[in-house]
Amino acid sequence: MNPTLVRLLALIKKELQVVIGDKQSLRLLIAPVILQLAIFPFAATLEVKNNTIFVLDRDGGPVATELIERLAHTRAFDQVRRLRGEADAREVIDRQDALLVLHIGPHFSERALAGKPEPVQAILDGRRSNSGQIALSYVQSILSGIPVGSALDPSVVPVVVRHWYNPNLDYFRFILPSLVAMIATFSALIVTAMSVAREREQGTLDQLLVSPLVPWMLFIGKATPALIVAIIQTTIILVGSVFGYGVEFRGSLLSLYLCLVPYVFALAGVGLFISTVCSTQQQAFLGVFLCLMPFILLSGFVTPVDNMPELLQKLTWANPVRHFIAIAKGIYLKGSLLSDFRDNLIALGCIGTVTISVSLALFQRRLS
Amino acid sequence: MNDPRRLFALIEKETLQIVRDPSTLLISLLFPVVLMLVFGAGISLDSSVVRLGVLNQDGSPASVRLVDTFRNTPGFRLYDGRSVEELGDRLRAGRIQGFVVIRSDLGRRAATGPTSGPMIQVITDGAEPNGANFVAAYAQGATAVWAAQEQARRGASPAALRGSFSLETRAWFNPSTKSRNSLLPGSVTIIMTVVGALLTALVVAREWERGTMEALLAAGISRVELVVSKLVPYFVLGLLAFTICIAMTHLLFEVPLRGSLLTLYFVGAAFLCSALGTGLLISTLLRTQYNAAQVALNVAFLPGLMLSGFVFEIRSMPLPIQAVSAIIPARYFVTAMQTVAQAGDVWSVLSRSLFGLTLAAVGFLGLTLLNTKRRLE
């Protein structure tokens, strides 16, 4: 066999031993994946459920009763409670018992029957503004379902809304592909960034440097274990989400795994860069975190990229996680093709190339 | 046994260690600044611009007016599609967030009045549920505006224009319902978790790795002294980071602060203790930096992001998950921060949060003490 290849394989084997060699490390790579797979898809929801809605009914007439009756039958509110006065409203909102308080005026039914309905007042807890607005839209749709006066409003235009890829807008469908990206990110970045710093701290870096391995081979030696870990973790999540959660995988499995290569390449570049500017493991880990947090927060995982200011949206092109989340979501949920992600793949390649060149340059300068 | 001078000497040693390794200091002070900027500018649940495709299969004047209504609605950026297939491809590639198809009989049916069956189809990208909801709501709103204008155009009598029920909304504490106002105080939790738990986990694990911890314990220092000496400098550092967060939230991003500063710091200090406790416990149990780092990430940071109610609503989670979130200190801190910032010192909420935080702090620190002993024997 080619001696270079033998050396490379030996290096990869050595690196793998460090990452998954002992039981504690292996457990630490696998257990969190399973735990996150079990908990996060349930947790990550922006739906509004199981809330108590409080109603201050000053009217007591038939239309108000009808409205309250209908509210009680929605998923968002499992309980409808009545309030006696304005002071109570203050109390339940302050204590976060209520997300929403509806105030129905004294002549509500009378006016509604006369065809001149007066508005229902809704007070919501601004601390939970997003949930409050979602709850409000439920109330709004209930209100518009109640006929005013005698006949249905003729101006109602039949609009049919269809949500492709996720007809019921289930959040776990949305979160599972992102989880694939997230978990691969953590380990790939940590594995590469910590490994150089650890060698330096333990003094083994010098030994590596006097070995006949050239810098780019060292890089491949450090990046391959990260890729292997990422593939294992991705597979666990994919198996769990297809068989455990029953979310159909619409695209090509091969494409997704292929995309992991440029992704890990980009991450390993970032990891390598961190480890060349840090001198201890502690610094390296904190450096990983300093990069990881903005990467995750600005990736579209927590809130959509589209909601960010324009300038920031452009900056996120330098964020590898953003690209891979788009890819994972697209291939998994929408059956997207590789060609849909040409720009993303190019961006990943650029991120990897730039970070690796810079870190190799820094590395060589330090050596001489 | 308990010589205060020795304790001070230990604390001094820890403080010197922090000051002499500028990376610790840099991270704990730079981190809050960077993250607050990221949170403040990048995290929003308020949709700004919706990229919407339109396909007008009709072409009648009424349908053109409908497209114009969409075009003139703030918040839409329209893309004229040529076919359903083309728009479908764009949706799949994520270039648009949804599209509207106007059926070919819209003009005819709009002229004759009430109808049944769909005339307008709205397709959204369900892979982004929050965005899909916005698209659907916006599209229905724009259609309703158009429908009202068409009716007025036909010269419908005022009776036909009879109003429907409407909602008049007031959002207490946050009248503009900017999601940033609630997200930013919550995001302080994430930053404090990182500074508190992650930093201590690493620092103390390093001492175990190098064997200096054993050396200290062998020198006859009690466990309490050891834990306190580790706690105090990082507590001070944490409070500094907390101050940076608060200053940026309040002064730079103009999130109101309705409660008192004293209450805010009280809550912050309680959470900091629980975070430091988590970090100390992790490092005591694992003793290597690499593993401590991994665990700190999974035990402190991720639950802080996912299960604290900072973005994702706890009440909407299934009951077992809600039970899990109850043992996560970050959850209590998020509630307390949001309340102090936006509602003021509401003690009925704060006392519950403080109780949870104190319990967590005492629990983690107690477990650390127990494990320090066992490990040495």
Q: Residue B87: is its pLDDT beyond 80?
A: yes
Q: Does B359 lie in the same domain as B227? A: yes
**Residue whose C-alpha is closest to residue B188's, from B268, B97, B88:** B268
Above pLDDT 70, what percent of chain B?
87
Query: Residue A260: pLDDT band by 50, 70, 90 thresholds?
Result: very high
List chain A residues with CB under 8 Å of B285. none
pLDDT of residue B159: 43
Question: Parallel, antiparallel, or unpaired for β B76-80 and B50-56?
Answer: parallel
What's the CA gap between B162 and A149, in Å, rounded? 9
The answer to whether the CB of B78 falls within 8 A of the CB of A345 is no
Q: Residue A153: is its pLDDT beyond 50?
A: no
Q: What is the DSSP letter of A153?
A: P
CB atoms within 10 A of CB A21: 13
Q: Does B257 lie in the same domain as B356? A: yes
Q: What is the DSSP letter of A336?
A: -
Contact (CB<8Å) A298/B286: no
A201-231: pLDDT as tens digits: 777 777 777 777 777 777 888 888 889 889 9
Contact (CB<8Å) B45/A46: yes
In a domain, B302, yes or no: yes
Query: Hey, what domains does chain A have and what are their CATH numbers?
Result: 3-44+169-367 (no CATH), 51-145 (3.40.1710.10)
Residues 6+ apart with CB under 8 A from B257: B246, B249, B250, B264, B340, B341
List chain B residues with CB under 8 Å of A133. 177
Amino acid at the residue B340: V
List chain B residues with CB under 8 Å of A125. 171-173
- Output the CA torsion sign for B263, B268, B271, B277: negative
What's the CA gap between B7 and B5, in Å, rounded? 5
Q: Could you tell me which residues are beta bridge partners of residue A125?
A: B172
B275-331: pLDDT as tens digits: 999 998 988 888 777 788 878 888 888 888 888 887 787 877 888 888 888 888 888
Q: Average model confidence (pLDDT) for chain B? A: 80
Q: What is the DSSP letter of A74?
A: S
Q: Does B59 lie in the same domain as B36? A: no
Count interface pairs A-B at CB distance under 8 A.
344
B51-63: pLDDT as tens digits: 889 998 888 888 8
Residues 6+ apart with CB under 8 A from A115: A148, A149, B159, B162
A346: enclosing H helix or E strand: helix A342-367
Mean pLDDT value of segment A242-256: 90
Mean pLDDT value of segment B213-226: 77
Core vs surface per residue A313-324: b (16+ CB within 10 A) or e:
bebbebbbbbbb
Q: Which of B38, B97, B202 sits opposite A285 (nearest CB)?
A: B202
Q: Residue B243: is its pLDDT beyond 50?
A: yes
What's the CA gap between B81 and B101, in Å, rounded? 9
Q: Residue A151: is its pLDDT beyond 50?
A: no
Contact (CB<8Å) B181/A129: yes
What's the CA gap between A187 and A182, in Å, rounded? 9
Q: Which of B47, B162, B194 sits opposite A153 (nearest CB)?
A: B162
Contact (CB<8Å) B312/A44: yes
List chain A residues with CB under 8 Å of B316. 45-50, 131
Mean pLDDT value of segment B156-173: 55
Contact (CB<8Å) B119/A129: no
B176-211: pLDDT as tens digits: 556 677 778 888 888 888 888 888 888 788 888 787
Q: Residue B12: is its pLDDT beyond 80?
A: yes
Residue of A164, A252, A324 to mutate when probing chain B, most B C-beta within 10 A: A164
Q: CATH code at B92?
A: 3.40.1710.10
Higher pLDDT, A348 or B373: A348
Q: Does B210 lie in the same domain as B329? A: yes
Which range in A285-289, A346-350, B69-73 is most confidently predicted, on average pLDDT?
A346-350
Helix axes B347-376, B329-338, angle to 10 degrees: 150
Q: Residue A357: is its pLDDT beyond 80?
A: yes
The C-alpha angle A175, A42, B97, rounded to 5 degrees, equals 30
Question: Parallel, antiparallel, or unpaired for β B98-102 and B120-125?
Answer: antiparallel
Q: Does B238 lie in the same domain as B290? A: yes
ipTM for this prediction: 0.77
CB atoms within 10 A of CB B97: 24
Structural tokens at position B171: 């959002």
Residues 6+ apart with CB under 8 A from B72: none
Contact (CB<8Å) B115/A158: yes
> Ramachandran region of residue A74, left (φ > 0), alpha (ψ -120 to 50) or beta?
beta
List chain B residues with CB under 8 Å of A123. 169-172
Amino acid at the residue A137: S
Report A:262-281 residues touching B (Cβ under 8 A).
278, 280-281
The answer to whether the CB of A356 falls within 8 A of the CB of A269 is yes
The answer to whether B112 faces chain A, any CB pair under 8 Å, is no
Q: Average model confidence (pLDDT) for chain A? A: 81
Q: Does B189 lie in the same domain as B110? A: no
Block residue for tokens 């967060």: B245
Number of domains in chain B: 2
Report A:199-258 residues touching B (Cβ under 8 A).
none
Q: What is the DSSP letter of A119?
A: P
DSSP codes joined into one string, A47-63: ---SEEEEEEES--SHH
Q: What is the DSSP letter of B47?
A: -
In a domain, B158, yes or no: no
- Count CA atoms within 13 Å of residue B74 on its CB side: 1
Block residue for tokens 């939970």: A128
Residue of A96, A127, A275 to mutate when probing chain B, most B C-beta within 10 A: A127
Residue of A159, A291, A292, A310 to mutate when probing chain B, most B C-beta within 10 A: A159
Q: Does B350 lie in the same domain as B213? A: yes
List chain B residues with CB under 8 Å of A290. 27, 30-31, 34
Contact (CB<8Å) B166/A143: yes
Q: Residue A145: is its pLDDT beyond 70?
A: no
Higher pLDDT, B44 or A316: A316
List Cα–Cα distances, B294 to A277, A295, B62, B305, B323, in angstroms.
21, 17, 60, 16, 24
3-state helix, strand, coil in chain A (%, to 5): 70, 10, 25
pLDDT of residue B166: 60
Structural tokens at position B104: 């070919």
Q: Residue B121: is its pLDDT beyond 70?
A: yes
- Coil vs helix vs strand at B169: strand
Q: Does B257 lie in the same domain as B367? A: yes
Mean pLDDT value of segment A113-135: 76
Contact (CB<8Å) A43/B166: no
Q: Does B226 lie in the same domain as B78? A: no
The answer to whether the CB of B249 falls within 8 A of the CB of B36 is yes
Mean pLDDT value of segment B76-90: 88
A267-325: pLDDT as tens digits: 999 998 888 888 787 788 888 888 888 898 888 887 778 778 888 888 889 999 999 99
Query: Residue A149: pLDDT band by 50, 70, 90 thresholds?
Result: very low
List chain A residues with CB under 8 Å of B339. 96, 127
In a domain, B161, yes or no: no
Q: Does B79 lie in the same domain as B136? A: yes
The C-alpha angle B202, B11, B20, rounded to 5 degrees, equals 60
pLDDT of residue A346: 94
Residue of B212, B285, B315 to mutate when probing chain A, most A C-beta within 10 A: B315
A61-106: pLDDT as tens digits: 888 888 888 877 776 777 788 888 877 887 787 777 777 888 888 8
List Cα–Cα distances, A7 to A4, A118, A222, A227, B357, in angstroms.
5, 81, 13, 19, 53
Residues 6+ apart with CB under 8 A from B206: A281, A282, B289
In a domain, B21, yes or no: yes
Above pLDDT 90, what percent of chain B?
6
The answer to whether B157 faces chain A, any CB pair under 8 Å, is no
Amino acid at the residue A84: R
In a domain, B349, yes or no: yes
Query: Residue B164: pLDDT band by 50, 70, 90 thresholds?
Result: low
Q: Could you tell me which residues are beta bridge partners of residue B123?
A: A162, B99
Report B:298-317 residues touching A (Cβ under 8 A).
298, 302, 305-307, 311-313, 315-317
The answer to whether the CB of B306 falls within 8 A of the CB of B284 is no
What's the CA gap between A56 and A60, in Å, rounded? 10
DSSP codes joined into one string, A11-52: HHHHHHHHHHSSHHHHHHHHHHHHHHHHHHHHH------SEE
List chain A residues with CB under 8 Å of B128. 174, 304
Q: Does B215 lie in the same domain as B194? A: yes
In a domain, B173, yes or no: no
Block residue for tokens 């509207």: B100
Phi and psi dihedrals of A336, rounded to 5? -65, 155
Provide the domain limits for residue B74.
50-153
Q: For residues B192, B195, B198 and B199, what is the CA-based torsion angle, rounded to 10 degrees?
A: -160
Q: Does B146 lie in the same domain as B222? A: no
Contact (CB<8Å) A297/B43: yes
CA A242: distance to chain centroid? Answer: 18
In a domain, B59, yes or no: yes
Above pLDDT 70, what percent of chain A?
93
B123: enclosing H helix or E strand: strand B120-125
pLDDT of residue B373: 63
The answer to whether the CB of A305 falls within 8 A of the CB of A283 is no
Higher pLDDT, B69 or B147: B69
In a domain, B221, yes or no: yes
CA B358: distance to chain centroid? Answer: 23
What's the CA gap between B362 and B274, in Å, rounded? 7
Phi and psi dihedrals of B120, rounded to 5? -130, 130
- Count CA atoms within 13 Å of residue A31 on its CB side: 12
